Amino acid sequence: MSSGQDSVYSEYETDTSQTSKLIRKFKETPFVPIGMAGFAVVVGYGLYRLKHRGDMKMSLHLIHMRVAAQGFVVGAITCGVLYSMFREYVLKPKE
């Protein structure tokens, strides 16, 4: 093996804690946990409102809940892509 591969492997071996890997991933892509949290909030709120939906049909309520959750996740992914493009193309130092 070359010395370049040894340095890559040693970097990953020293960072074996699951929480440290998770924190590193959250720092690299901050909009993924935001999208997941938003999805959980929308679903939780939808389940809470399920009890008080009045005379709205169950299927209609579930469709609205699904669309809201998907919209939040797609919005978070879009913001993440725009953020990474901004970091790469605008804040990137001129070479």
Q: What is the pLDDT of residues 62-94, one digit of tens each?
A: 898 899 989 988 998 899 889 888 888 888 766
Mean pLDDT of the chain, nearest integer: 80
Counting runs of H as helices and runs of E as strands, what totals does the chain give? 4, 0
C-beta neighbour count of 19 within 10 angstroms: 7
Q: Between 42 and 94, whose confidence is greater?
A: 42
DSSP state at residue 1 = -
pLDDT, residue 10, reads: 56
Is pTM beyond 0.85? Reply is: no
Calculate the CA 19 to chain-centre distance: 16
pLDDT exceeds cutoff 80 at 16: no
pLDDT, residue 67, reads: 92
